Amino acid sequence: MDIILQPWPWYVSGPLIALIMFILMFMGKKFGMSSNLKTLCTLCGADKKSEFFSFDWKAQRWNLVVVIGAAIGGFIGMYFLSPNPAVNINPETVSTLQNLGFESAGKAYLPEELYSLGALTNIKSLSILIIGGFLIGFGARWAGGCTSGHAISGLSSLQLPSLIAVIGFFIGGLLMVHLLFPLIF
């Protein structure tokens, strides 16, 4: 039991993610999470504004059930399987983050500075969450997928477009962390 309560190592987590992809494949579906955002747009009536959202959303209901499950899984992971959810990152990373003003580095699962309830009243951290979320949604749809659809499913089936997209993910991530973070924080 103690092994389950500890953070799961990469060599357990990675194969389990592959297993989830295979279970969905054998259920006749594709592992891809960002398409739910498109489905939710259609559910909110976006099909009246753009052709892009005119599709049979009912065929995507299964995937909405998967993400409802993902939320329940997060609840179970947090409240039943993690006596100490603090993420034990590299001490060097901790000191870099502390220099940027992230005091919670190494002590929490998410940075308090961005994700505590109090941070919602801070215009800067609120803007970061909004801009970050916007870029995730916009970029994932433009690229036709996210980490699950391209980096896992797409690369597993050796698709060149997915490789290009994943290279893009890293260009964006590296630009953000190395060039923009020192300007933002």
Partner 1 sequence: MKVLGYLIVGIFFGIVMFKSEAASWFRIYEMFQFQSFHMYGIIGSALVIGILGIQLIKRKKLKDFNGQKIHFVPKEKGFTRYILGGTIFGLGWALAGACPGPIYTLIGAGYVSVIVVFLAAILGTFVYGLLKDKLPH
Q: Which residue in 84, 99, 120, 182 binds partner 1 (CB under 8 A)?
A: 120
Report the nearest approach of partner 1 to the CB of residue 183 (Å): 12
Minimum separation from the CB atom of position 74 to partner 1 (A): 3
Least separation in angstroms between CB 15 and partner 1: 5
Residue with tokens 């559910």: 43
Q: Enumerate residues 125-164 that contact partner 1 by CB under 8 A.
A: 126, 128-148, 150-162, 164
Length of the chain (residues): 185
CA distance 93 to 111: 13
For residue 66, state whether it binds partner 1 (rule: CB under 8 A): yes
Give the nearest distance from C-beta 108 to partner 1 in angstroms. Answer: 8
Quick check: 23 binds partner 1 (CB under 8 A)? yes
Note whether 139 and 145 are within 8 A (CB). Answer: no
- Provide the minimum distance between the beta carbon of 85 and partner 1 in the complex, in angstroms, as a whole number: 8
User: Reduced to 3 states, what is the DSSP secondary structure of residue 34?
Assistant: coil
Q: Which of 89, 97, 90 is nearest to 114 (CA)?
A: 97
| Residue 32 · residue 162 · CB < 8 Å | no
The C-alpha angle 53, 58, 60, rounded to 5 degrees, equals 75
Nearest C-alpha neighbor of 117 from the set 129, 105, 107: 129
Kindly state whether residue 65 participates in binding partner 1, applying the rule CB under 8 A: yes
> Which residue, 8 or 101, has its beta carbon nearer to partner 1?
8
> Binding to partner 1 (CB under 8 A): which residues in 24-63?
24-28, 33-34, 36-38, 40-41, 44, 46, 49-50, 52-53, 62-63
101 part of the interface to partner 1, by CB under 8 A: no
